Amino acid sequence: MAKLSIRKDDYVMIITGKDKGKTALIAGINAEKGRALIEGKDLKTVNKKAVKARKASDKGGLVEQPGTIAISNVMPICAACNKPTRVGHGLVDGKSVRICKECGEVLVTKKVTARKSKASKTTEAAPEKKAKATVRKRVKAEAPVTEEVAAAPETAAEAPAKEE
């Protein structure tokens, strides 16, 4: 059997199929069938299973389970060059390791950081804007202190006593 280019807990990019271009995590591998169990956000390759509640505390409904994809349809993402890459095999210090064909480094995979969209920027900035707006309202609501206001009696009990 040939060496596999991916392993469990690798972050991979799907290069063909319904989820082309998306990244996923390898949850498991079935080498006999040549399939990889993938988990990721917003993947169409997900199995939905109806589950009946067996106890009062259990929750029934549709449960999403990770789907499988052919191993040939994914490419591991290299941590050094941050790109999907083909995999080479070599020896380093007497141990067999995977090597990135793009940069030549020992292949260590990692999750690709997603780019921030405009929607995420507005949601992050919104609480700051609200806080500034409330501060401005408070400043406007407070009346400036003048000499007349400072000389005015503070309580109603003091006002009649001074008039007499």
Kindly state whether residues 21 and 49 are assigned to the same domain.
yes
Residue 107 lies in a domain: no
Q: 90 and 60, same structural domain?
A: yes
pLDDT at 72 over 50: yes
Residues 60 and 127 in one domain: no
> In sequence order, what are the residues at sequence separation of 6 or more whose Cβ sits closer than 8 angstroms to the Cβ of residue 136?
none
Q: What length does the chain have? A: 164
Whether residue 114 is contained in a domain is answered as: no
Average pLDDT, stretch 150-158? 56
The number of folded domains in the chain is: 2
Task: CATH number of the domain at 87, please.
Answer: 2.30.30.30
In a shared domain, residues 79 and 17: yes
* Domain hosting residue 18, numbered range: 11-100
Q: 80-121: per-residue pLDDT in tens?
A: 888 899 999 889 898 988 999 888 888 887 665 544 445 544
Point out the domain boundary residue: 50, 68, 100. 100
Do the domain assignments include residue 124?
A: yes
Q: Are residues 23 and 78 in the same domain?
A: yes
pTM, full prediction: 0.58
Backbone angles phi, psi at 150, to 5 degrees: -65, -35
Listed residues 100, 128, 146: the one ending a domain: 100
The better pLDDT of the pair 117, 8 is held by 8
Instruction: Dig out the tokens for 67 from the structure.
Output: 């789907």
Residue range 128-147, pLDDT digits in tens = 444 444 444 455 555 555 55
